[in-house]
Each structure stands twice: as structure tokens, then as C-alpha cells.
């Protein structure tokens, strides 16, 4: 496939004859990205990919640098099929970079990633057929209606379920004839979700989709996402800063800080295996994760325990009863650890 693809006056992009539609995605890969194992070509589905049963997405030793900045630092991550994983971390932690590598928008310096058993850099078209993507900033085309966006998605994705997306938007009260540039930020995000779900992709990658939504739209977004995953059996990775929202939606937690995976476990383990104390006396067997300021500037320390519950101090004295850590406190403790406030194994 050679030559530039120029937009028509209607705002749509003409697809060259003989090429196969893969996935509508307004965001573009960075300059110089390849479209398959042979540069400049769209490769067919791989026939000998090593799929691990029960795993929807996995990364091994994934490293990505931007000049001197390390965005991803030897990341190992495994996302079980059918799960909803909260990918949590501060700005600059590497969340968006990880998603872009999975979409073949950024090439890793080392390591590799697989989406439903397919390496997106070896078989980009095959990988993208398995992915529904909602970017951080909703990508809409000025002058096109909501219905135009669905028609464009249908023209670029042979299995796109237009009626499903229409029903989803109708339930939210978003008119199909409304111009995209008149949508609110929340409505634009809902349009992006409706298109991603309409692809019926096996893996959904959502990059901070809740950031521009009001509380009601945020809850509706989460409810539709969870219902779709339960119905279709798909898998989602939801990147967000809003810990309380991801707690409601997700069953797994992955904390990313300074390009490293700090914690990766089921949500119930994150709750059960961590306690919080405001005392200098450590619980027996606890591993100090990180310390941060609580209410009233009280210094709180998050501990990872072999078993949830209170312990005794190293000297044998009874320790103050610790509090079970909330999910937000677990995240705060690990982010503090990522900044260097860590502890050692204590007996």
C-alpha cells in the first residue's frame, strides 16, 4: 500500500481498493510505524501464534524510552480473559504509552506484547481486529453527524454492529443526527465507547475515558462497559486516576509508577492483603510498602501482610489494631513506594 490517503470533501477517508478494512480508529500511529511484518503492507492473520489459554493480553520485559526518559521499564503484565483490569497511576507513569504499544502506535525498545495471542508489531491488522479502543481525548470529526461516525466505523470494520451502537446512543439520549462538534465532552466519550463496543472486539483498551465525564455519565459509562463485558465475554483494560470508579467496575488492579508495575493482582487480594497503620510499631510479618499523609496530616503506612489482620510488634508487644486499607489507600501506598518511600521486610 503506497501513497497518501487523502480525505474526501465529506470528511471520510477513502480506503484503497484491494485493502482490507480493519478497525476505525481516529488516532494515528507515530511517524515511521510499520503496518505488518513487511514494512508498508497489511499482513494476514497469523496461523502459528502461541496463545496462552485464559490470557487476553500479556507483556514481557516491555521497555520504551523517549530519549533519556524511560516510559516503560521492563514491564511484565498478564491480563486474564474476561477480566476488567484497572490500570492506575499518576500522570507520566506510562499508562498511555503501554496502551499505545499494544496498539502498535509506539514501538518498544525491547520486550514484546501480545493481544489475544497476536504480536501487534508482527501482525498489526490481525491484532487491531481484536481491539476496541477509546482514546483519552475523544476523536470526532467536525461537520460529521453521530450517524456519519457510525457509518464510517462500519465501512472500516466488516463486523461492526451498527444497530448495537445506535441503541446504546439512543439510551443515552444522544441524537444520531447531531453534529459531532456540538457534543459535550461526556457525549463525545460516550460516542467513542459506543463505537469501540460496536466492533465486538475481544479486548477493549480505554485510556482515561472517565476524565471528562460528569458523575452521572461516568456511572452510565461504567455500567454499560461492565454489562457489555459480561454479555460478550470480552476483556477490558481501564486506565484511570479515579480510584473509586475503577473499584466499582474492575476485578483486577495494576498499579504503574515510574514505568514499573508496582502491583498486579485481583481486586479482592489488594484489599485483603494490605493494612494501614499510623503507628511506628510494625505488624508482625508485614512488609512496609509506602507512607503518605492521611487526614489531619497523620503519617500513614501501608503494609502488605501474608494474611490480612492485626499482628504483634517485632518485640512481641501487642500492636495497635490496624485498619483494613481501602483500595484508594492501597494505590496511595504503592505510588508513595514508587517515589522512593519504601520499607523493608520486618519480622
pLDDT tens digit string along 288-319?
Answer: 898 888 877 788 899 998 864 444 444 444 44
Given this model, what pLDDT does residue 222 score?
87
- Of the candidates 243, 186, 185, 180, the residue with the CA atom closest to the CA atom of residue 218: 186
pLDDT of 28 > 60? The answer is no
| Percentage of the chain modeled with pLDDT above 70 | 77
Mean pLDDT lowest among 184-188, 251-255, 287-291, 310-314: 310-314
pLDDT of 65 > 70? The answer is yes
pLDDT of 285 > 50? The answer is yes
pLDDT of 7 > 50? The answer is no
Segments of 50-153 assigned E as strands? 55-66, 69-80, 84-88, 110-115, 131-134
Given this model, what pLDDT does residue 51 score?
56
Given this model, what pLDDT does residue 59 score?
95
The x, y and z cell numbers of residue 91, run together, are 500522570
Q: Are 116 and 130 in contact (CB under 8 A)?
A: yes
- Of the candidates 55, 90, 48, 97, the residue with the CA atom closest to the CA atom of residue 73: 97
pLDDT of 109 > 80? The answer is yes
- Of the candidates 135, 111, 115, the residue with the CA atom closest to the CA atom of residue 125: 115
Greater confidence, 246 or 272? Answer: 272
Given this model, what pLDDT does residue 162 score?
95
Amino acid at each position: 500500500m503506497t501513497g497518501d490517503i487523502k480525505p474526501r470533501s465529506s470528511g471520510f477517508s477513502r480506503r484503497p481498493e484491494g485493502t482490507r478494512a480493519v478497525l476505525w480508529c481516529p488516532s494515528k500511529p507515530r511517524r515511521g510505524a510499520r503496518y505488518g511484518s513487511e514494512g508498508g503492507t497489511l499482513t494476514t492473520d497469523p496461523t502459528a501464534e502461541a496463545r496462552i489459554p485464559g490470557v487476553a493480553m500479556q507483556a514481557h520485559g516491555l521497555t520504551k524510552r523517549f530519549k533519556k526518559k524511560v516510559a516503560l521499564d521492563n514491564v511484565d503484565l498478564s491480563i486474564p480473559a474476561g477480566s476488567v483490569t484497572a490500570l492506575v497511576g499518576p500522570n507520566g507513569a506510562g499508562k498511555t504509552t503501554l496502551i499505545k504499544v499494544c496498539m502498535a502506535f509506539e514501538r518498544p525498545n525491547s520486550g514484546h506484547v501480545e493481544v489475544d495471542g497476536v504480536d501487534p508489531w508482527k501482525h498489526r491488522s490481525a491484532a487491531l481486529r481484536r481491539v476496541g479502543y477509546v482514546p483519552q481525548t475523544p476523536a470526532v470529526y467536525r461537520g460529521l453527524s453521530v450517524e456519519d461516525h457510525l457509518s464510517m466505523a462500519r465501512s472500516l470494520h466488516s463486523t461492526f454492529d451498527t444497530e448495537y451502537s445506535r441503541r446504546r446512543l439512543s439510551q443515552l439520549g444522544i441524537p444520531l443526527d447531531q453534529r459531532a462538534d456540538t457534543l459535550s465532552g461526556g457525549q463525545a466519550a460516550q460516542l467513542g465507547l459506543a463505537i469501540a463496543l460496536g466492533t465486538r472486539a475481544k479486548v477493549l483498551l480505554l485510556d482515561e475515558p472517565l476524565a471528562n465525564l460528569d458523575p452521572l455519565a461516568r456511572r452510565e459509562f461504567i455500567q454499560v462497559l461492565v454489562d457489555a463485558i459480561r454479555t460478550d465475554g470480552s476483556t477490558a483494560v481501564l486506565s484511570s486516576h479515579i480510584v473509586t470508579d475503577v473499584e466499582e467496575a474492575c476485578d483486577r488492579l495494576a498499579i504503574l509508577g515510574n514505568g514499573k508495575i508496582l502491583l498486579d493482582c485481583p481486586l479482592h487480594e489488594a484489599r485483603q492483603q494490605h493494612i494501614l497503620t499510623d503507628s511506628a510499631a510494625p505488624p508482625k510479618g508485614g512488609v512496609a510498602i509506602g507512607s503518605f499523609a492521611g487526614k489531619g496530616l497523620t503519617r500513614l503506612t501501608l503494609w502488605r501482610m501474608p494474611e490480612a489482620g492485626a499482628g504483634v510488634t517485632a518485640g512481641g508487644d501487642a500492636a495497635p489494631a490496624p485498619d483494613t486499607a481501602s483500595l484508594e489507600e492501597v494505590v496511595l501506598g504503592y505510588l508513595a513506594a514508587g517515589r522512593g518511600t519504601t520499607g523493608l521486610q520486618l519480622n
